């Protein structure tokens, strides 16, 4: 009886605590009224900045007096939702007054006066589409399961966000969308304590063009104090940003479409948003860039020499160009599929393939990338070169550059910590980043879970699932049995807006990812902290996956793609590999047959927490990336032990 009463008292106290969790917070501009939903409290459509068209945004917005009703997401920034975009990505509710963000926090209080780590999600969509308010990024699951605050943001897109405008001295203004992101990060840094968030544990997650944005923030002295770590999903690394000259030709072509004089801002402002959108899509990338990869995002950042000095990949060619922060870097297994089959719905001839390759050839000659994927293919007669192009894009645009970037970050880490490796000069302080920035850690993952799993579905279910992707990929379902661009983000958010069938299939992987990602945001380590409950749970989830015989029937390596030396979790999906921790990697290897980089290790400086799990390294397997990407960098190979 006494126990029962005690439980009841606790329960009542608990309920009371939940109820007392306020849905009203006070920000720098006034009170905001959110609402509780499920295990979260949501504050939607918060205006964080304001801007006129073709003006840098400012967070200096007028304060409001009565509480702001934050129960509905703000409008999406203007974009084309035409046919190929699904409703869960794009809605008709659009306006140029779109600089809003959404804060989703757990319903419960953080334990004992602590704070929640914060995740800021920068959405993808070629710098021309998408919105942080899109139903696919509903953060209900992520925030409540990960016990983190998730902030999703809008920023200006397409010609609204990335037209370059030159003044009479030839100085360019532009990258408005990028600056919007910076304003959002600033707002979050200042205001997140009001939501019980920790302003010193902000992790930026970016996907696709959002990933490249995150990279540009890593390389921006203005942005980098605004966050602590980043998760880079599917950066199309080797697609260059526009040079000043290219931005100038793009602006000229755009102004002709609008019948405005170039740089006549008053004329641009007099046009309707639809006029701007029409002009945006009618300017083709080959009119200002000879690189066929620019078609990935015809409207994206330009190198303005104010804040953006390098294309994303070039940032990492010199370790003084970026800040050393903990990073998780990953790709899906079939990044290139969507890009290729959307642009080439018909078979691709050898001739067209060759000209595509020729116009992106600058990347082929990069030492850190595969020399060429052409030479190994044999051709005769009427071939369809689309699969060869997919492989090229997988390797040269996504995977191999990601490996190079991870190595460079680790290289910088070794430089920073000076952990006894000769041959690495100590870092030269040229970038404006404090030379004492703490050592980073880098983890890599490859998301291999197929977008759809035919065979385990009924025909009707298959059609439902395939329709998800086929709407983006013309009449054919090219993502069948493949892990297409964006599949990992869908699983991570695990939004209620996903079709039920997809939710069923991605539930396990979604849990796993939220665990890793929120560990990373909380501890700076995807594996959490030894001894903490979070860590133990991570291990249990991994073990359960590996030993769950009920799931062993799913063989995800049925593809004919050349990845036979990759072994996935039985459920498919997520291989996490930490570059800098031999102990952890050994454990991962044992569980997931995953491998590590022999070149670098921070042996001797490994925190005790990870060493507890140390086992002698087992067989040193070379990851398929090592084989595919080659060892471009001529650095001495090092081995452990
Ligand atoms: C807030 O907005 C929602 C819908 O947008 C509406 O239903 C609700 O009544 C509003 N609340 C207040 C206090 O105005
Ligand atoms: C590195 O450079 C920045 C900017 O030039 C400077 O403020 C900082 O003090 C330097 N750090 C060190 C350790 O020299």
Look up the domain containing 540 and give its range.
330-629
When mean pLDDT is compared across 288-302, 321-335, 369-383, 624-638, the lowest value belongs to 624-638
What tens digit of pLDDT does each residue of 182-192 get?
Answer: 999 999 999 99
Q: Tell me how far apart the terminal alpha carbons of the chain are, to the nearest angstrom.
A: 60
For the record, the structure tokens of 31 come out as 């009170």
157 neighbors 98 (Cβ within 8 angstroms): no
308 with 335, same domain? no
Of 232, 205, 48, nearest in space to 118 by CA:
205
336 with 196, same domain? no
The answer to whether residue 344 sits within a structural domain is: yes
117/493 Cα distance (integer angstroms)? 17
The answer to whether residue 639 sits within a structural domain is: no
> According to DSSP H, which parts of 192-346 are helical?
209-218, 244-258, 265-270, 273-282, 312-315, 336-343
240 with 199, same domain? yes
What residue's CA is closest to ligand 1, atom 12? 69
Strand pairing category for 100-106 and 116-122: unpaired
523/111 Cα distance (integer angstroms)? 15
pLDDT score at 609: 21
Of 441, 579, 591, 450, nearest in space to 509 by CA:
450
CA-CA-CA-CA torsion sign (231, 237, 239, 244): positive
Residue 272 scores a pLDDT above 90? yes
Mutation test of ligand 2: which of 220, 434, 437 has the most ligand atoms closer than 8 Å to its C-beta? 434
Residue 301 belongs to domain with CATH number: 3.40.50.1820
What residue's CA is closest to ligand 1, atom 10? 69
307/181 Cα distance (integer angstroms)? 13
298 with 365, same domain? no
Residue 201 scores a pLDDT above 80? yes
518/330 Cα distance (integer angstroms)? 16
370 band by pLDDT with thresholds 50, 70 and 90: low
For residue 73, the CA-to-ligand 1 centroid distance in Å is 12
294 with 345, same domain? no
Average pLDDT, the chain: 73
Average pLDDT over residues 208-232: 95
pLDDT score at 453: 45
384 with 287, same domain? no
pLDDT score at 19: 45
What tens digit of pLDDT does each residue of 522-563 get?
Answer: 888 776 654 433 333 332 222 222 222 222 222 222 222 222
> For residue 293, what is the DSSP state?
G
Mutation test of ligand 2: which of 430, 435, 436, 437 has the most ligand atoms closer than 8 Å to its C-beta? 435
Helix, strand or coil, per DSSP, at residue 187 = helix
Residues with C-beta less than 6 Å from any ligand 2 atom:
429, 432, 434-435
Atom of ligand 2 nearest to the CA of 436: 13
The answer to whether residue 259 sits within a structural domain is: no
Number of domains comprising the chain: 2
Average pLDDT over residues 273-300: 92
The answer to whether residue 641 sits within a structural domain is: no
Q: Exposure pattern of 600-629 as b/e (b: 16+ CB <10 Å)? A: bbbeeebeebbeebeeebeeeeebbbbebb
When mean pLDDT is compared across 35-44, 253-262, 266-275, 486-495, the lowest value belongs to 486-495
pLDDT score at 135: 92
Of 325, 68, 20, nearest in space to 202 by CA:
325
Of 388, 321, 407, 435, nearest in space to 580 by CA:
407
Strand pairing category for 149-153 and 116-122: parallel
397 with 491, same domain? yes
Q: Is the CB of 72 under 6 A from ligand 1?
A: yes
Q: Is pLDDT larger for residue 508 or for residue 433?
A: 508
Atom of ligand 1 nearest to the CA of 33: 13
151 neighbors 133 (Cβ within 8 angstroms): no
pLDDT score at 218: 93
Mutation test of ligand 1: which of 35, 37, 45, 71 has the most ligand atoms closer than 8 Å to its C-beta? 71
84 neighbors 471 (Cβ within 8 angstroms): yes
When mean pLDDT is compared across 395-399, 513-517, 536-540, the lowest value belongs to 536-540
Atom of ligand 1 nearest to the CA of 72: 5
When mean pLDDT is compared across 15-19, 70-74, 108-112, 135-139, the lowest value belongs to 15-19
List phi, psi (to 5°) of 419. Answer: -80, 50
630/623 Cα distance (integer angstroms)? 11
400 with 284, same domain? no
Of 126, 72, 117, nearest in space to 281 by CA:
126
210/130 Cα distance (integer angstroms)? 10
Which ligand is nearest to the Cα of residue 434, counting in written order? 2
> For residue 343, what is the DSSP state?
H
Give the percent of the chain with pLDDT over 90: 40
The answer to whether residue 3 sits within a structural domain is: no
Size of the chain, expressed as the number of residues it contains? 641
The answer to whether residue 5 sits within a structural domain is: no
301 neighbors 242 (Cβ within 8 angstroms): yes
271 with 349, same domain? no
pTM higher than the cut 0.75: yes
The answer to whether residue 539 sits within a structural domain is: yes
498/73 Cα distance (integer angstroms)? 18
293 with 370, same domain? no
Residues 6+ positions from 317 with CB-CB distance below 8 Å: 408
What residue's CA is closest to ligand 1, atom 1? 69
Q: Is the CB of 71 under 6 A from ligand 1?
A: yes
> For residue 394, what is the DSSP state?
I
292 with 416, same domain? no
The answer to whether residue 324 sits within a structural domain is: no
Residues 6+ positions from 637 with CB-CB distance below 8 Å: 598, 599
360 with 304, same domain? no
Residues 6+ positions from 246 with CB-CB distance below 8 Å: 288, 289, 302
What tens digit of pLDDT does each residue of 87-134 get?
Answer: 788 888 999 999 999 999 999 988 777 899 999 999 999 999 999 999
For the record, the structure tokens of 137 come out as 């990024």
For residue 121, the CA-to-ligand 1 centroid distance in Å is 26
pLDDT score at 362: 54
């Amino acid at each position: 009886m006494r126990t029962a009463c005690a439980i009841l008292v606790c329960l009542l106290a608990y309920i009371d605590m939940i109820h007392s969790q306020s849905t009203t917070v006070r920000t720098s501009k006034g009170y905001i009224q959110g609402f509780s939903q499920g295990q979260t409290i949501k504050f939607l459509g918060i205006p964080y900045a304001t801007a006129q068209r073709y003006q840098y945004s400012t967070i200096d917005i007028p304060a409001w007096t009565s509480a702001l009703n934050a129960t509905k997401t703000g409008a999406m920034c203007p974009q084309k939702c035409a046919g190929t975009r699904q409703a869960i990505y794009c809605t008709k509710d659009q306006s140029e007054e779109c600089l809003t963000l959404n804060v989703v926090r757990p319903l419960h209080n953080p334990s004992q006066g602590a704070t929640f780590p914060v995740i800021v999600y920068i959405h993808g969509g070629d710098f021309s589409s998408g919105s942080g308010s899109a139903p696919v990024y509903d953060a209900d699951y992520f925030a409540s399961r990960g016990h983190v605050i998730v902030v999703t943001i809008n920023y200006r897109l397409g010609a609204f966000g990335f037209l370059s405008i030159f003044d009479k001295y030839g100085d360019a203004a532009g990258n408005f969308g990028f600056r919007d992101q910076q304003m959002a990060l600033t707002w979050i840094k200042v205001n997140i304590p009001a939501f019980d968030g920790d302003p010193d544990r902000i992790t930026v997650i970016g996907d696709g063009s959002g990933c490249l944005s995150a990279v540009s923030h890593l390389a921006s002295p203005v942005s980098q104090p605004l966050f602590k770590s980043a998760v880079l999903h599917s950066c199309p690394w080797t697609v260059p940003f526009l040079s000043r000259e290219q931005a100038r030709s793009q602006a000229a072509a755009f102004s002709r479409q609008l019948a405005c004089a170039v740089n006549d801002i008053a004329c641009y402002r007099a046009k309707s948003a639809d006029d701007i959108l029409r002009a945006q899509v009618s300017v083709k990338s080959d009119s200002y860039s000879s690189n066929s990869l620019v078609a990935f995002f015809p409207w994206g950042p330009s190198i303005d020499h104010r804040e953006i000095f390098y294309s994303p990949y070039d940032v990492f060619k010199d370790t003084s160009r970026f800040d050393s922060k903990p990073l998780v870097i990953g790709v899906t297994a079939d990044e290139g599929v969507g890009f290729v089959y959307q642009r080439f719905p018909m078979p691709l001839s050898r001739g067209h393939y060759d000209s595509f390759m020729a116009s992106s050839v600058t990347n082929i000659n990069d030492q850190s990338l595969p020399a060429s994927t052409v030479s190994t293919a044999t051709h005769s007669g009427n071939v369809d070169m689309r699969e060869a192009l997919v492989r090229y894009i997988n390797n040269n645009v996504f995977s191999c550059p990601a490996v190079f970037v991870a190595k460079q970050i680790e290289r910088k880490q070794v430089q920073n910590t000076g952990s006894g490796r000769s041959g690495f000069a100590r870092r030269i302080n040229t970038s404006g980043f404090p030379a004492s920035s703490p050592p980073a850690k880098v983890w890599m993952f490859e998301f291999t879970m197929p977008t759809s799993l035919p065979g385990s579905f009924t025909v009707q279910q298959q059609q439902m699932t395939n329709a998800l992707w086929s709407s983006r990929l013309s009449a054919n379902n090219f993502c069948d049995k493949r892990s297409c661009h964006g599949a990992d983000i869908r699983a991570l958010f695990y939004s209620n807006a996903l079709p039920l069938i997809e939710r069923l299939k991605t539930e396990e992987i979604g849990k796993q990812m939220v665990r890793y990602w929120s560990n990373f945001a909380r501890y700076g380590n995807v594996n959490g902290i030894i001894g903490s409950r979070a860590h133990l749970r991570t291990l249990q989830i991994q073990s359960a996956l590996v030993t769950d015989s009920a799931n062993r029937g799913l063989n995800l390596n049925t593809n004919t793609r050349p990845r036979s030396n990759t072994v996935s979790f039985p459920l498919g999906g997520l291989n996490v590999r930490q570059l800098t921790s031999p102990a952890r990697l050994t454990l991962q290897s044992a569980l997931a047959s995953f491998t590590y980089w022999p070149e670098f290790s921070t042996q001797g400086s490994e925190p005790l927490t990870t060493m507890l799990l140390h086992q002698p390294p087992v067989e040193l397997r070379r990851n398929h990336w090592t084989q595919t990407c080659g060892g471009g960098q001529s650095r001495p190979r090092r081995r452990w032990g």
